[in-house]
Amino acid sequence: MEMKEFNKTKRQLSVMGVGTWELSSNREENVRAIRYAVDNGINFIDTAEMYGTEPVVKESIEGYDREKLFIASKVWPTHFKYDDVINACENSLKNLGTDYLDLYQLHWPSKSIPIKETMRAMEKLVEDGKIRHIGISNFSLEETKEAQAAMSKYEISSNQVEYSIITRDIEKSGLFDYCKDNGIAVIAYSPLSHGKIFSNTALLSDLKKVAERYSATPAQVSLSWLLHKENTFPIPKASNMEHMKEDIAAAALDLSREDLSLLSDLEEKYYTEPISKQHKKSEDKINNYNFKEEKTD
């Protein structure tokens, strides 16, 4: 698996990571799939306190050299007060069976807790060696600038946002270029549009036309299109071996310039609104999420 610099952190990450939101209920298979990924060169695993999958990641990374892995988790906005951030991190460390996180991300922006207070806690976690890098997620261009301005000692390493062949809002908003120009890595979540590419038969048929030229699949050309973008790390989620094998093999595909351009044109036909737009409409729900009651784990 090819490696790529995680922008200003200078850390070497596999060009693709693995996501762990809404893994299937077959834990043994989830673990087997993630271990297959690590055995085949993936060193970047993304989770979050909110997913309830940190224990699955813990089980999946047992026995591997921790220093070779890049483990990312996230704190939910209801935990953005200073002490809550520190406690949430401790909890994630325990769930993951590790004494540091490579990347700790603010899962969504909060409207109720000042970003300065949250960032003070994040910087304290870096100083204490509990986390190595600070990231954000679902932050717009303006929110990204505000988050960076709220920090006093460190810089934002990454912004995790929805980005796929049919959801390219971050290119239009200027966020993609801003991140590139400011050394912030883009982590592309829902790179398969949260599975929506598989339920749109017209899109699937257009993807297949390109995929056939490489003896590949629609999932693989969709992922490869993202892998051809600079400063971008897609994190597909695969609950089973079959999907994981297929997704990882996408890293070996080299699409022609013509096919990349054909794939780029698909968004116009099949544009899909990002999840974040729907969530923005229910921001109060995010900020007041009752974590303990609703947690799935």
Residues that bind ligand NAP (CB under 6 A): 19-22, 24, 46, 107, 137-138, 160, 189-195, 198, 219, 235-240, 243, 246-247
Q: Using the minimum distance from each CB to ligand NAP, give the nearer residue, 155 or 246.
A: 246
Three-state DSSP string of 115-161: HHHHHHHHHHHHHCCCEEEEEEECCCHHHHHHHHHCCCCCCEEEEEE
Which long-range CB contacts under 8 A does 112-116 form with residues at least 24 apart? 112/77, 112/287, 113/77, 113/80, 113/81, 114/150, 115/146, 115/147, 115/150, 116/150
- Residue 35 tokens read as 């271990």
Give the integer Cα–Cα distance in Å for 144 and 138: 9
Q: Using the minimum distance from each CB to ligand NAP, give the nearer residue, 153 or 209.
A: 209
Q: Using the minimum distance from each CB to ligand NAP, give the nearer residue, 250 or 257.
A: 250
> Whole-number minimum distance, CB 265 to ligand NAP, in Å?
20
Q: Which residues contact 59 (CB under 8 A, 6 or more apart)?
A: 27, 31
> Whole-number minimum distance, CB 221 to ligand NAP, in Å?
11
Task: Please say whether the beta carbons of 242 and 277 come within 8 A.
Answer: no
Q: Using the minimum distance from each CB to ligand NAP, give the nearer residue, 113 or 218.
A: 218
Which residue is closest to ligand NAP by CB? Answer: 19
> Whole-number minimum distance, CB 54 to ligand NAP, in Å?
12
Closest CA to 43 of 19, 63, 10, 70: 70
Q: Using the minimum distance from each CB to ligand NAP, give the nearer residue, 152 or 274.
A: 274
> Whole-number minimum distance, CB 55 to ligand NAP, in Å?
15
Closest CA to 192 of 243, 155, 117, 255: 243
Place of tokens 């991140």: 179
Give the integer Cα–Cα distance in Å for 269 and 78: 38
- Residues labelled catalytic: 51
> Whole-number minimum distance, CB 146 to ligand NAP, in Å?
18
